[in-house]
C-alpha cells in the first residue's frame, strides 16, 4: 500500500474499496474520485436545463433599465429568464452594455404562474349584484350604471366596500359592458374631462401605454402626467435648459474624468449600468459619493461625503462659492470664459429695481423692446434679451433668443453664433457705478427670509441701472471683489455668510476643508479635461420640496465649468425612464393627434391635490413660501393653483363647472363661438373653473383607469386622503382641516369635504396590488412575456422589443386588446347615448410654441382682477373645439387619422411633413376597409402600433431625422442635417427590434448626437452646432426673472432647507421623544428588492430580504426607544400609520429612517396598534405639497408641456414618530 | 489535468444578487430545494449563509494537517466518518440556513367582503404553518442588523479591535459564492457512497444523483457549506458549474448574468500529482503560493506535450493559454483563493475589493489619484486589510496588500493616459509590472469584453 499522505492505512484501505463499486477513477492518492462526465452521465441537470425555445422580451417596469432578456420556454411553460448579451458594441476600447439586468428582472417569470396572478376579470360583488339587477331592470347598461351612481345609498354601499375583499369573478363581456357604460354615462352626464387615465412612463412599453391613452384622448378624457407626479421631473431642467430632461447614456460615464454620485445610489437603482462606474475608476476616474448613509455606491467611491438629508443645496452652493472665487474672480480661465459667453446667460443684463431706501432688488432681463436701439422695433422685441458688448462698448442684442425662434425676421438667426460680439461677463471693469443689491437667504431656523446687501457693478441704460447675471451671482454667492461695498464673508472660514464652506458645514455636516478641496478638484478637472466632469444626480436630491433649488445649485457647477454638452460631462439625472427615444411617433399615436388636436394633458400632482381634498388640510399659506415680498399676499396654495389654471399656465381638468360638451351646446344656442361664449360666461361669473369649487359634485373626477400602474400601492402621496376622499373607504389620517383664517380666498369651502368622489376605478394588471385591491373592476392583463411592445431608456441608445413567449394564459389579454374591446363596446353604446358632439378643450399655453411669448417680462396680470382682458391663448387657456364622433371611436382607435397628412407632425417646435411616411404605413400595415378610417393605415394590432411609432419618429426613421434637421436649419442658419445623414436610409422596423437591440439615429427630437457611433450626451448639438436652448435667451439660464421667481427669492439658485414640518404642521422636531417614540426624518428611497411596487411581493425578492415591509433605522435611534432588529414598529404622523419591521443598522445616520418605497400593504402587514386597521404603505405618511414656482406658465421656458414642467409630488420633507409596538405578537 | 475555474473581481461586485436569482431560477426553484442557493451573495462583515459557516471549530469542515504532516478531514478520519454515518452531528439545521416560506397570496383575490383590507400572511414551506419571518437567505444584506450580528462574523477573530460597528467607520463589500470545485474536495472525500466525483475532463465536482444515498457527510465535509440536502429527494445537491452550458461553450448562468461583469471563467492546467503535497504544506499562509505552484504554465512546451500525452485536446490547451483566469491568478497575481486554510485547494478565486481608498486622507488636500497617496491609503483602508487577509490568505496581509497596490497603481497609471498626459512607467514598475502588462490588465478588468471574460 502506498503512503498517500491521507488519514492512514486503514482508512485508505476502506476508502480505497470505492474503486470496486464504481467505474469512476479514484486518484492515485485515493483522495478524489474522478469520472468522465459526458452526455450519458449527469442526466438530471441536463434534463433540467433542456428547453424548447428562447424568446426575446423585457420588463415593462419603470426603472430606466430597458434590459433585453431571454425567456426560456419548455413544454409551453415559461421556465426562467436570463439576460441577452447581444447589444451592438459601444466600441473597441469601451466596456459593453451586456449583460444588462438585475435580480428583480431575473425573478419576473415567477409571476406567470404565481398565486397572485390575476387570471380572470373580477368585479366587487356588491357592485356586480347591483349592476346585474339594474341591467335586468333597464336592459341598457348605461341606464343601469346611471341608476346605481345616481342613488346615494347604493353608491355609498359599493364605494365604502372598496379594498375590503369581496371581489368576484365575472366575464369579459360583462366587465367591458360595465366599463364602457360608465364611460358613456359620464361623458353624457358630466363631460369627458371628468374621466382620467393614468399609466406611467411610456418608454418602458409605449404600445401598452398608448392603448388606453388613445381611447381616452379620443373621447376627450385627460391623461394624467407621471414624471412630475413622481417628483422625478427636475423642474430645474426646464428652468435652466428649456428641456424636459436630457441626459447621457450610462456608457458616457466612462468618458468622465471626475464623477460625483450625488443622491443617486447607482448599484441599487441603476443596477444594469453600475458597471460603467466601477470600470471607469480603472481609467483613473475619481469617484465621489454624496450620501447621508453608507449607501451601496459609497463602497465604490474614493470619498464619502456624508451630507445631511435635504441639505445638498448648501453643499452645492459652497462648492459654487469656491469655483466662482478661484476660477472666475481670482483668475480668468479662457475655457470657462468662452463657454459662458456663448452658452449661458451669465453676460445678459438684468435691470435693478429701486427699493427706495438706497438699495436695489433683482429685476427683469433687459430686452430690445425696453431700449432705444434699432432692434426696439424688430419683431418680438420684448423677447430679445440684451448684453453688453465689450468689443464695441455698446449694448447688443445677440442672435438665438426666443424672439428669433418665431416670426419672419428670425429665419436663419436663431443660433448661438456671436459674430463680432464679445459679451462682457461682468461689468466690473466697465462699470458706471455700484448699486447695493439685496439678496435673500433662507437659512434661519424658522425658514424665514433675511437679506444680505452687497455692491454690484452697474451701467446706466437710460434711467435704468443694469448689471450682468454673473455680477449678481458673485454677490449672491458672497464672492467679494475689491471695491464693492456691502457685507461680504470674511473668508472660507466665515460660518455666518451664506455659501462659504464653513457656512455649509453647519447644515450638511460636511467638513469645510473637504468641500474646498472637492470644488478645486472639480474646477481643475474641468480645465484639464475640457469639461469632462459629471454629476449623477438622483432621487436623493430630487424628491425634496425645494429640489429645483437644490438642482439649480448643483447644475451651476456642471454648467459654469463648461461641462454641459460634452461627452463625459454635465448632469446625469436618472430618475424615471422618461426618455422614449421614438417620441414623436409615440406622442402623435398615443394621444390620437392623428384625429384630434389638442389633447387633454393634466399634471397629476395638482389633480390629486385638488381631487383628494388634500388642499383642505394645508394649515399653511403661500406666504410661508415667498420671501416676504408679498407676491402671494393673502393667498393659499390652491388659490395659486386656480390662478395658474385661469391664466392658462397649467392645465386643469375637470376644467369648468359645466360639461365641456354642454358649453359647446350653449354657445351654439347663444349664437356665439364657444371661446367667445366661455369668455363671456367667465367674465360675468356665471361660469367658474372647477378647481374653484372642488367639492361640488359636478366637479368630481368620476372615472379613473389604471394600467401599467399601481397608484394606490406606490405613487399616491397622501395615500390615506385618496382612500377617504377619492374612494370613500377607510383612510387612516388624523390631520385636521385648515382653520377659518387659513382657508383659501377664492375657493368654495363647503362644511364637509366630499368622500367617495370617484364612481369607477378600473385596474388592468397581471398581479394583485393595492390598486387592484381597491378597484371596482379588475381586468386580467398579459405579462411582459406575453405581448408585443417596444422598450427604450435614457440609459442606453437602443430600441428593442417585447415578444410573447407564450400566449396570454387563462383569460388575460394584452392592454392593447383590452382597450380595443372597451373602445368597441363604448362605440356601440355611444350610438344611442352620445352621437356626434362638440367639445371645448381648454389647453394651457404650450412650451415650444409662440404661446410661450404670452407673458411679457414674466409679469403676472390676472384678468379676474381686471388687470387684463381674458383673451384665450394669451391671458387665459387656449379654447379649442373638437368634434367627437363618439360612435366612431373604435374606428378611429384602429386606424391612423387624416391629420397626419393634412397638418403634419410637430415635436419640440420642429415641423415634419409625413405624407410619405403615412403612405408607407398604408402598405406596411394595410388600410382600414370602412368607417371614418377607410383608406387610412390600420392600427389593429400591437405590432401595427409599434411600427407606426417607429416609422413616425426621427430616432428610428433616418428620413424623418434628416427632414427635421433640414427644417431646423432654416431657423438656425447653421448646418445640422449631416448629423442624421449617415442614417438617412435607415428605417427601423419592429421586426428589426425582435432580432437584436437596434441603435437609434441622431434626431432633432433630442439634444445630443450619436453620429459616428459616439456615446450619447445631451446638448452636444447645442454646443457643437450653435443651436439655441429652448429658453428666453436661447442660453442655459442661471437667472429666472418671472414675477413669482423673484417674489419667492429664487431668481438665482439659493439654499432652501427642507420644509419645517413643526412650524407648518405641528409635527415634533427631529430628535424629540414622547410616548409615540422618537421623531425622525422620514425618507422613502428606492428599494433594492423591487422596482417601485413591482417585485416587492415576489417570493424570490422576499426570500432575499426580510419578507415584508421594513423601516431602516440607525442603531442610535433604535437604542433611544428600545427597538432591536426585526422588532415590529409603528410609525405615525398626521397623515397615517405604518406597521412594519425594523432593520437596525449602523450604516444609517442618526435622526433619519428609510422606508424603502412602494412596499405594498398586501404582504405581511398587520393591523396597527393605533386604530386596529391595516397598516399603510410608505406614502401613508406623506402628502402632496405644491410649490408655486412649478405652476408658472406662459413664459418662455416656463411654459407648460406634458411631463415637461409641473408641480412635483415631493415626498422627502416629511417627519414621523417611530416606536416599538407594545405587543410584538401582531394580529392580521 | 484541466480544471474549469472562476475568478470574481470583488472590487466590481455591486451586491445585486442577480447571479443568485438567475441560478435559483435555472436550478433550484423546486420542492425540496426552496432554501437552496447554489450561488449566494453575502454582505461582509456579516454572518454568511448558512450562518457562521466559516467557523470550522463548530462545523468541522475541510481538511487539517496532522502532526505527521498528513491531511485528514477535520471532522475526523474518513474511517470515523464511515463508522458514524447514522449520526452526523455537524450538520447545519434549517435554522442555520433559513426556514423557507411563502404567503397565502390567494386571499388577496379570494377574501370575502370583510372589515379590513385583506393581506397575505407568511407560512412555512417546511411545516406549512403560519410563521414569523425572522431569518432569510440574505438577512444581513447591506449591514441590516449588523450592530447585532456583525460582531459574530467569524472573520473578525483576532481583529475585533479594528472593526467597530459605528456610523463613521462603516464599510462593507459583497462576497458572491458558488461551489469551489476544489482540487482537493473534502466533500468527495467525505462521501461514503462514492457519489461525489470530480469530472476528469474539466474538474467540475458533481453529486451523482443516482448514487447519492443521502448520508449528508458531504455537507459536513464541505467547509464552504456548498453542498445542500434536498429534503424531498433525500439527496445531496450542489452547484454543477452549469456543465450542460459549459459543455456547449457558454458560461455558467451566474457568470453570464453577472451585471457587474466581474466573473471570469477559464481553464487551468495543473499537476494532479502535486495537489496533495501542496495542500499539506505546514504553514497555512504558504497555501496560497503552494496552490499557485500546482498550476502549470500552458505556454511551457513541456506542459503542452504532457497535456497532449494525457489526452487533453489541442483546443483545450489553447483555452488554457488564453484563459483570463490564468492571467489573473498567475500572470498578474491579483486573484486569491477563498480560505486556502481549509486545504481543499479551491478553484473559485477572488480579486479583493480596493475601494474606497482615499477616504481617510480626504482632509489632507492632496490629489486623490496621486500614486503616493494611493499607496499610503492602502494601509488605512476603510476595509481593514487584515479582514481581507483572513478571507483570502489565511491571515497573511502581504499578498492582499500586493494586489491592492497593483489595482491602485493601475488607476494612477491610467489617469495620465485618460487625461492625455505621458504615462509614468515608474508606476507599474513600483509594483513589479511592465506598463504593457498593466495596460493589458486594465483592459481585462475594465473593458472586459464578453469574449475576454470567458
Taking CB atoms and an 8 Å limit, are B450 and A96 in contact across chains?
yes
Closest in A95, A513, A1114 to B447, CB measured? A95
- Three-state secondary-structure class, residue A1168: coil
Q: B124 touching A, CB under 8 A?
A: no
Query: How far does the CA of residue B188 sit from the closest CA of chain A (Å)?
Result: 6
| Residue A283 with chain B: CB contacts under 8 Å | 411, 414-415, 417-418, 442, 446
Taking CB atoms and an 8 Å limit, are B245 and A80 in contact across chains?
no
| Residue A296 with chain B: CB contacts under 8 Å | 14-15, 142
| Lowest mean per-residue pLDDT among A11-15, A973-977, A1122-1126 | A11-15
Pairwise CA distance, residues B452 & A842, whole Å: 59
Closest in A115, A513, A1148 to B365, CB measured? A513
Pair B274, B303: CB distance under 8 Å: no
pLDDT, tens digit, 9 for 90 and up, residues A750-768: 999 999 999 999 999 999 9
Query: How far does the CA of residue A1089 sit from the closest CA of chain B (Å)?
Result: 9
Percent share of chain B, pLDDT over 90: 84
Question: Which residues of B, range 38-97, sit inside 8 Å of A by Cβ?
Answer: 69-73, 77-79, 82
DSSP character for A1031?
S
What is the rounded average pLDDT of the residues A518-542?
A: 96
Q: A1145 touching B, CB under 8 A?
A: yes
pLDDT, tens digit, 9 for 90 and up, residues B298-343: 999 999 999 889 888 999 999 999 999 999 999 999 999 999 999 9
Percent share of chain A, pLDDT over 90: 94
**Cell 411616411, residue located:** A917
Given a cut of 50, whether residue B82 has pLDDT beyond it is yes
Pairwise CA distance, residues B15 & B138, whole Å: 11
Taking CB atoms and an 8 Å limit, are A33 and B188 in contact across chains?
yes
**Cell 451523482, residue located:** B208
Pairwise CA distance, residues B178 & B252, whole Å: 11
Q: What is the largest CA-CA distance in chain B?
A: 80
Percent share of chain A, pLDDT over 70: 97
- Best B1, B14, B328 residue to mutate vs chain A (most A CBs within 10 Å): B14
| Residue B277 with chain A: CB contacts under 8 Å | 5
Element containing residue B276 per DSSP (H, E) = helix B275-279
pLDDT for the residue A5:
54
Closest in A6, A96, A302 to B356, CB measured? A302
pLDDT for the residue A12:
54
CA distances B285 to B290, B342, B350, Å, are 9, 11, 16
pLDDT for the residue B354:
86
pLDDT for the residue A6:
58
pLDDT for the residue A578:
77
Given a cut of 90, whether residue A1095 has pLDDT beyond it is yes
Q: Strand B235-238 to strand B263-270: parallel, antiparallel, or no bridges (unpaired)? A: unpaired
Q: A1120 touching B, CB under 8 A?
A: no
| Residue A11 with chain B: CB contacts under 8 Å | 77-79
Given a cut of 60, whether residue A10 has pLDDT beyond it is no
Taking CB atoms and an 8 Å limit, are B78 and A1161 in contact across chains?
no
Please compute Rg for chain A using Cα positions. Answer: 31
Q: Strand A601-602 to strand A703-707: parallel, antiparallel, or no bridges (unpaired)? A: unpaired
Given a cut of 60, whether residue A836 has pLDDT beyond it is yes
Pair A533, A256: CB distance under 8 Å: yes
Q: B12 touching A, CB under 8 A?
A: yes
b (16+ CB within 10 A) / e for B174-200: bbbbbbbbbbbbbbbbbbbbbbbbbbb
Partner residues linked to B73 by β-bridges: B63
Q: A45 touching B, CB under 8 A?
A: yes
Taking CB atoms and an 8 Å limit, are A514 and B257 in contact across chains?
no
Taking CB atoms and an 8 Å limit, are B201 and A6 in contact across chains?
no
A38 confidence band (pLDDT: 50, 70, 90)? low
Taking CB atoms and an 8 Å limit, are B143 and A1145 in contact across chains?
yes
Pairwise CA distance, residues A102 & B252, whole Å: 16
pLDDT for the residue A24:
58
Q: A453 touching B, CB under 8 A?
A: no
Element containing residue A35 per DSSP (H, E) = strand A33-35
Q: Strand A33-35 to strand A25-26: parallel, antiparallel, or no bridges (unpaired)? A: antiparallel
Given a cut of 60, whether residue A8 has pLDDT beyond it is no
pLDDT for the residue B297:
95
Taking CB atoms and an 8 Å limit, are B167 and A1147 in contact across chains?
yes
Query: How far does the CA of residue B240 sit from the closest CA of chain A (Å)?
Result: 8
Taking CB atoms and an 8 Å limit, are A4 and B276 in contact across chains?
yes
Q: Strand A33-35 to strand B235-238: parallel, antiparallel, or no bridges (unpaired)? A: unpaired
pLDDT for the residue A21:
46
pLDDT, tens digit, 9 for 90 and up, residues A196-214: 999 999 999 999 999 999 9
Query: How far does the CA of residue A337 sit from the closest CA of chain B (Å)?
Result: 22
Given a cut of 70, whether residue A4 has pLDDT beyond it is no
Given a cut of 80, whether residue A910 has pLDDT beyond it is yes
Q: A33 touching B, CB under 8 A?
A: yes
Given a cut of 90, whether residue B196 has pLDDT beyond it is yes
Partner residues linked to A1111 by β-bridges: A1142
Given a cut of 70, whether residue A1129 has pLDDT beyond it is yes
A520: number of Cβ within 10 Å: 17
* All cell numbers assigned to A1078: 422618537
User: Omega into A598 within 30° of 0, i.e. cis?
Assistant: yes
| Residue B124 with chain A: CB contacts under 8 Å | none
Residue-averaged pLDDT of chain A: 95
Q: A687 touching B, CB under 8 A?
A: no
pLDDT, tens digit, 9 for 90 and up, residues A361-411: 999 999 999 999 999 999 999 999 999 999 999 999 999 999 999 999 999
Query: How far does the CA of residue B318 sit from the closest CA of chain A (Å)?
Result: 21
- Three-state secondary-structure class, residue A425: coil
Q: A120 touching B, CB under 8 A?
A: no
Q: A96 touching B, CB under 8 A?
A: yes
Question: Which residues of B, range 273-312, sit inside 8 Å of A by Cβ?
Answer: 273, 275-277, 280
Pairwise CA distance, residues A1090 & A1096, whole Å: 5
Taking CB atoms and an 8 Å limit, are A283 and B103 in contact across chains?
no
* All cell numbers assigned to A1047: 417674489
Q: B188 touching A, CB under 8 A?
A: yes
What is the rounded average pLDDT of the residues A34-43?
A: 68
What is the rounded average pLDDT of the residues A480-504?
A: 97
**Cell 433604535, residue located:** A1118
* All cell numbers assigned to A32: 478524489
Closest CA to A369 of A341, A342, A345, A395: A395
A18 confidence band (pLDDT: 50, 70, 90)? very low
Pairwise CA distance, residues A226 & A605, whole Å: 9
Q: A995 touching B, CB under 8 A?
A: no
| Residue B419 with chain A: CB contacts under 8 Å | 257, 284, 528-529
B371 confidence band (pLDDT: 50, 70, 90)? low
**CA-based torsion, A323, A328, A329, A330: positive or negative:** positive
Please compute Rg for chain B using Cα positions. Answer: 23
Closest CA to A627 of A360, A351, A476, A441: A441
**Can you list the alpha helix ranges (DSSP code H) found in A1040-1121?**
1043-1047, 1061-1065, 1099-1103, 1115-1120
Taking CB atoms and an 8 Å limit, are B355 and A257 in contact across chains?
no
Chain A to chain B, count of Cβ pairs less than 8 Å apart?
416
**CA-based torsion, B56, B61, B65, B66: positive or negative:** positive
Amino acid at each position: 500500500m502506498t503512503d498517500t499522505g491521507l488519514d492512514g492505512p486503514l482508512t485508505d484501505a476502506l476508502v480505497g474499496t470505492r474503486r470496486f463499486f464504481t467505474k469512476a477513477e479514484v486518484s492515485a492518492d485515493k483522495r478524489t474520485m474522478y469520472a468522465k462526465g459526458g452526455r450519458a452521465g449527469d442526466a438530471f441537470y441536463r434534463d433540467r436545463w433542456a428547453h424548447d425555445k428562447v424568446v426575446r422580451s423585457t420588463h415593462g417596469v419603470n426603472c430606466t433599465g430597458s434590459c433585453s432578456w431571454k425567456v426560456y420556454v419548455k413544454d409551453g411553460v415559461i421556465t426562467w429568464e436570463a439576460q441577452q448579451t447581444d447589444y451592438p458594441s459601444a466600441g473597441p476600447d469601451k466596456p459593453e452594455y451586456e449583460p444588462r439586468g438585475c435580480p428583480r428582472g431575473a425573478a419576473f417569470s415567477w409571476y406567470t404562474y404565481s398565486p397572485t396572478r390575476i387570471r380572470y376579470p373580477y368585479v366587487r360583488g356588491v357592485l356586480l349584484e347591483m349592476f346585474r339587477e339594474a341591467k335586468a331592470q333597464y336592459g341598457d347598461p348605461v341606464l343601469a350604471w346611471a341608476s346605481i351612481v345616481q342613488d346615494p345609498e347604493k353608491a355609498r354601499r359599493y364605494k365604502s366596500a372598496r379594498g375590503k375583499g369581496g371581489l368576484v369573478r365575472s366575464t369579459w363581456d360583462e366587465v367591458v359592458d360595465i366599463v364602457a357604460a360608465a364611460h358613456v354615462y359620464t361623458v353624457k352626464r358630466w363631460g369627458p374631462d371628468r374621466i382620467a387615465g393614468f399609466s406611467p412612463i411610456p418608454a418602458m412599453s409605449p404600445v401598452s401605454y398608448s392603448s388606453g391613452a388613445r381611447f381616452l384622448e379620443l373621447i376627450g378624457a385627460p391623461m394624467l402626467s407621471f414624471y412630475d407626479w413622481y417628483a422625478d421631473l427636475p423642474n430645474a431642467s426646464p428652468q435652466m435648459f428649456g428641456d424636459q430632461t436630457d441626459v447621457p447614456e450610462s456608457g458616457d460615464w466612462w468618458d468622465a474624468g471626475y464623477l460625483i454620485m450625488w443622491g443617486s445610489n447607482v448599484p441599487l437603482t441603476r443596477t444594469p449600468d453600475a458597471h460603467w462606474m466601477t470600470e471607469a475608476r480603472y481609467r483613473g476616474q475619481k469617484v465621489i459619493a454624496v450620501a447621508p448613509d453608507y449607501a451601496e455606491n459609497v463602497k465604490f467611491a474614493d470619498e464619502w461625503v456624508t451630507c445631511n438629508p435635504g441639505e445638498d443645496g448648501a453643499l452645492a452652493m459652497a462648492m459654487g462659492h469656491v469655483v466662482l472665487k478661484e476660477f472666475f474672480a481670482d483668475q480668468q480661465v479662457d475655457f470657462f470664459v468662452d463657454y459662458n459667453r456663448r452658452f449661458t446667460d451669465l453676460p445678459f443684463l438684468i435691470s435693478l429695481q429701486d427699493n427706495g431706501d438706497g438699495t436695489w432688488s433683482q429685476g427683469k432681463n433687459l430686452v430690445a423692446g425696453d431700449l432705444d436701439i434699432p432692434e426696439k422695433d424688430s419683431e418680438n422685441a420684448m423677447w430679445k434679451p440684451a448684453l453688453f458688448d465689450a468689443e464695441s462698448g455698446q449694448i447688443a442684442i445677440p442672435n438665438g433668443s426666443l424672439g428669433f425662434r418665431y416670426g419672419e425676421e428670425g429665419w436663419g438667426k436663431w443660433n448661438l453664433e456671436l459674430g463680432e460680439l464679445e459679451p462682457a461677463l461682468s461689468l466690473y471693469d466697465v462699470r458706471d457705478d455700484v448699486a447695493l443689491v439685496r439678496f435673500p437667504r433662507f437659512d434661519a431656523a424658522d425658514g424665514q427670509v433675511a437679506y444680505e446687501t452687497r455692491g454690484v457693478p452697474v451701467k446706466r441704460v437710460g434711467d435704468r441701472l443694469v448689471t450682468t447675471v454673473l455680477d449678481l451671482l458673485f454677490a449672491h454667492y458672497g464672492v467679494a471683489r475689491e471695491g464693492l461695498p456691502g457685507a461680504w464673508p470674511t473668508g472660507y472660514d466665515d460660518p455666518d455668510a451664506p455659501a462659504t464652506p464653513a457656512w455649509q458645514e453647519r447644515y450638511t455636516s460636511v467638513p469645510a476643508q473637504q468641500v474646498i478641496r472637492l470644488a478645486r478638484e472639480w474646477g481643475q478637472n474641468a480645465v484639464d479635461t475640457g469639461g469632462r466632469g459629471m454629476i449623477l444626480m438622483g432621487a436623493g436630491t430630487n424628491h425634496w420640496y425645494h429640489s429645483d433649488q437644490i438642482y439649480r445649485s448643483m447644475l451651476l457647477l456642471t454648467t459654469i465649468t463648461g461641462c454641459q454638452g460634452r461627452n463625459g460631462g454635465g448632469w446625469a439625472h436618472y430618475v424615471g425612464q422618461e426618455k422614449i427615444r421614438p417620441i414623436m411617433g409615440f406622442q402623435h399615436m398615443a394621444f390620437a393627434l392623428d384625429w384630434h388636436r389638442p389633447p387633454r394633458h393634466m399634471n397629476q400632482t395638482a389633480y390629486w391635490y385638488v381631487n383628494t381634498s388634500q388642499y383642505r388640510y394645508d394649515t399653511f399659506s403661500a406666504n410661508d413660501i415667498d420671501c416676504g415680498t408679498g407676491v402671494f399676499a393673502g393667498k393659499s396654495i390652491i388659490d395659486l393653483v386656480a390662478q395658474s389654471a385661469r391664466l392658462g399656465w397649467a392645465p386643469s381638468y375637470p376644467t369648468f363647472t359645466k360639461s365641456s360638451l354642454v358649453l359647446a351646446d350653449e354657445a351654439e344656442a347663444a349664437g356665439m363661438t364657444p371661446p367667445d361664449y366661455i369668455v363671456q360666461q367667465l367674465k360675468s361669473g356665471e361660469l367658474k373653473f372647477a378647481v374653484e369649487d372642488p367639492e361640488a359634485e359636478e366637479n368630481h373626477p368620476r372615472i379613473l383607469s389604471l394600467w401599467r400602474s399601481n397608484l394606490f400601492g406606490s405613487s399616491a402621496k397622501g395615500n390615506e386622503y385618496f382612500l377617504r376622499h377619492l374612494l370613500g373607504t377607510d383612510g387612516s389620517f388624523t390631520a385636521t382641516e385648515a382653520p377659518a383664517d387659513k382657508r383659501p380666498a377664492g375657493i368654495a369651502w363647503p362644511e364637509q369635504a366630499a368622500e367617495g368622489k370617484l364612481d369607477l376605478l378600473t385596474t388592468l394588471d397581471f398581479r394583485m396590488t393595492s390598486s387592484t385591491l381597491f378597484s371596482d373592476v379588475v381586468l386580467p392583463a398579459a405579462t411582459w412575456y406575453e405581448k408585443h411592445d417596444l422598450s427604450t431608456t435614457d440609459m442606453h441608445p437602443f430600441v428593442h422589443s417585447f415578444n410573447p413567449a407564450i400566449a396570454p394564459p387563462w383569460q388575460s389579454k394584452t392592454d392593447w386588446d383590452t382597450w380595443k374591446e372597451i373602445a368597441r363596446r363604448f362605440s356601440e353604446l355611444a350610438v344611442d347615448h352620445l352621437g356626434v358632439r362638440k367639445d371645448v378643450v381648454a389647453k394651457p399655453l404650450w412650451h415650444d410654441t409662440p404661446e410661450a411669448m404670452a407673458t411679457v417680462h414674466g409679469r403676472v396680470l390676472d384678468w379676474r382682477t381686471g388687470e387684463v382682458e381674458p383673451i384665450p391663448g394669451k391671458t387665459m387657456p387656449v379654447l379649442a373645439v373638437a368634434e367627437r364622433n363618439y360612435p366612431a371611436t373604435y374606428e378611429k382607435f384602429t386606424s391612423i387619422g387624416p391629420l397626419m397628412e393634412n397638418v403634419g407632425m410637430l415635436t419640440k417646435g420642429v415641423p415634419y411633413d409625413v405624407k410619405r411616411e403615412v403612405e408607407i404605413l398604408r402598405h406596411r400595415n394595410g388600410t382600414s376597409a370602412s368607417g371614418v378610417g377607410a383608406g387610412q393605415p390600420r392600427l389593429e394590432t400591437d405590432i401595427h402600433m409599434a411600427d407606426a411609432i417607429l416609422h413616425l419618429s426621427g430616432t428610428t426613421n433616418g428620413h424623418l431625422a434628416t427632414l427635421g434637421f433640414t427644417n431646423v436649419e432654416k431657423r438656425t442658419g447653421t448646418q445640422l442635417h449631416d448629423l442624421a445623414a449617415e442614417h438617412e436610409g435607415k428605417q427601423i422596423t419592429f421586426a428589426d427590434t425582435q432580432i437584436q437591440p437596434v441603435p437609434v439615429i441622431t434626431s432633432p427630437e433630442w439634444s445630443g448626437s450619436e453620429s459616428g457611433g459616439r456615446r450619447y450626451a445631451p446638448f452636444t448639438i447645442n454646443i457643437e452646432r450653435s443651436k439655441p436652448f429652448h429658453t428666453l435667451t436661447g442660453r442655459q439660464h442661471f437667472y429666472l426673472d418671472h414675477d413669482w421667481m423673484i417674489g419667492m427669492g429664487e431668481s438665482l439658485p439659493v439654499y432652501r432647507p427642507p420644509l419645517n414640518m413643526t412650524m407648518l404642521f405641528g409635527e415634533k422636531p427631529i430628535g424629540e421623544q414622547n410616548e409615540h417614540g422618537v421623531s425622525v426624518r422620514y425618507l422613502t428611497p428606492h428599494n433594492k428588492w423591487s422596482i417601485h411596487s413591482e417585485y416587492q411581493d415576489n417570493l424570490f425578492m422576499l426570500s432575499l430580504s426580510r419578507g415584508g415591509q421594513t423601516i431602516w433605522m440607525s442603531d442610535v435611534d433604535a437604542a433611544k426607544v428600545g427597538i432591536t432588529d426585526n422588532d415590529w414598529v409603528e410609525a405615525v404622523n398626521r397623515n397615517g400609520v405604518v406597521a412594519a419591521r425594523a432593520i437596525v443598522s449602523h450604516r444609517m445616520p442618526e435622526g433619519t429612517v428609510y422606508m424603502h418605497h412602494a412596499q405594498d400593504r398586501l404582504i405581511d402587514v398587520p393591523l396597527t396598534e393605533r386604530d386596529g386597521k391595516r397598516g399603510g404603505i410608505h406614502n401613508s405618511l406623506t402628502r402632496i405639497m405644491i410649490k408655486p414656482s412649478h405652476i408658472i406658465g406662459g413664459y418662455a421656458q416656463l411654459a407648460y408641456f406634458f411631463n415637461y414642467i409641473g408641480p412635483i409630488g415631493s415626498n422627502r420633507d416629511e417627519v414621523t414618530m417611530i416606536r416599538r409596538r407594545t405587543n410584538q405578537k401582531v394580529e392580521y | 489535468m484541466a480544471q474549469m475555474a472562476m475568478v470574481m473581481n470583488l472590487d466590481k461586485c455591486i451586491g445585486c444578487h442577480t447571479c443568485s436569482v438567475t441560478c435559483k431560477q435555472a436550478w433550484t426553484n423546486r420542492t425540496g430545494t426552496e432554501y437552496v442557493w447554489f450561488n449566494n451573495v453575502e454582505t461582509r462583515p456579516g454572518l454568511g449563509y448558512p450562518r457562521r459557516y466559516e467557523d470550522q471549530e463548530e462545523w468541522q469542515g475541510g481538511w487539517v494537517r496532522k502532526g505527521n504532516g498528513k491531511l485528514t478531514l477535520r471532522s475526523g478520519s474518513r474511517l470515523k466518518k464511515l463508522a458514524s454515518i447514522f449520526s452526523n452531528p455537524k450538520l447545519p439545521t434549517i435554522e442555520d440556513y433559513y426556514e423557507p416560506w411563502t404567503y397565502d397570496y390567494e386571499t388577496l383575490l379570494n377574501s370575502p367582503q370583510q372589515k379590513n383590507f385583506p393581506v397575505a400572511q407568511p407560512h412555512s414551506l417546511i411545516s406549512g404553518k403560519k410563521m414569523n419571518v425572522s431569518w432569510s437567505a440574505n438577512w444581513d444584506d447591506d449591514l441590516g442588523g449588523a450592530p447585532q450580528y456583525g460582531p459574530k462574523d467569524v472573520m473578525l477573530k483576532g481583529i475585533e479591535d479594528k472593526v467597530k460597528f459605528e456610523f463613521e467607520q462603516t464599510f462593507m463589500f459583497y462576497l458572491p459564492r458558488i461551489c469551489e470545485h476544489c482540487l482537493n474536495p473534502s466533500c468527495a472525500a467525505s462521501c461514503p457512497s462514492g457519489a461525489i466525483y470530480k469530472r476528469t475532463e474539466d474538474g467540475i465536482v458533481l453529486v451523482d444523483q443516482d448514487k447519492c444515498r443521502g448520508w449528508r457527510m458531504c455537507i459536513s465535509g464541505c467547509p464552504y457549506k456548498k453542498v445542500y440536502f434536498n429534503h424531498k429527494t433525500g439527496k445531496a445537491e450542489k452547484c454543477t458549474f452549469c456543465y450542460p452550458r459549459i459543455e456547449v461553450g457558454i458560461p455558467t448562468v451566474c457568470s453570464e448574468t453577472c451585471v457587474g461583469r466581474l466573473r471570469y471563467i477559464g481553464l487551468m492546467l495543473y499537476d494532479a500529482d502535486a495537489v496533495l503535497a501542496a495542500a499539506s504544506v505546514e504553514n497555512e499562509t504558504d497555501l496560497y503560493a503552494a496552490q499557485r505552484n500546482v498550476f502549470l504554465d500552458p505556454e511551457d512546451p513541456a506542459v503542452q506535450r504532457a497535456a497532449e500525452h494525457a489526452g487533453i485536446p489541442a483546443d483545450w490547451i489553447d483555452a488554457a493559454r488564453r484563459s483570463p483566469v490564468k492571467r489573473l491568478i498567475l500572470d498578474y497575481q491579483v486573484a486569491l483563493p477563498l480560505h486556502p486554510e481549509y486545504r481543499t485547494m479551491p478553484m473559485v478565486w477572488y480579486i479583493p475589493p480596493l475601494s474606497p481608498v482615499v477616504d481617510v486622507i480626504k482632509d489632507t488636500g492632496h490629489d486623490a489619484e496621486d500614486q503616493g497617496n494611493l499607496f499610503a491609503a492602502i494601509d488605512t483602508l476603510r476595509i481593514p486589510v487584515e479582514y481581507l487577509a483572513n478571507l483570502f490568505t489565511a491571515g497573511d496581509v502581504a499578498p492582499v496588500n500586493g494586489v491592492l497596490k497593483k489595482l491602485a497603481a493601475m488607476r494612477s497609471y491610467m489617469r495620465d493616459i485618460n487625461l492625455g498626459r505621458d504615462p509614468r512607467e515608474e508606476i507599474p514598475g513600483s509594483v513589479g509590472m511592465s506598463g504593457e502588462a498593466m495596460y493589458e490588465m486594465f483592459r481585462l478588468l475594465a473593458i472586459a469584453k464578453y469574449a475576454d471574460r470567458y
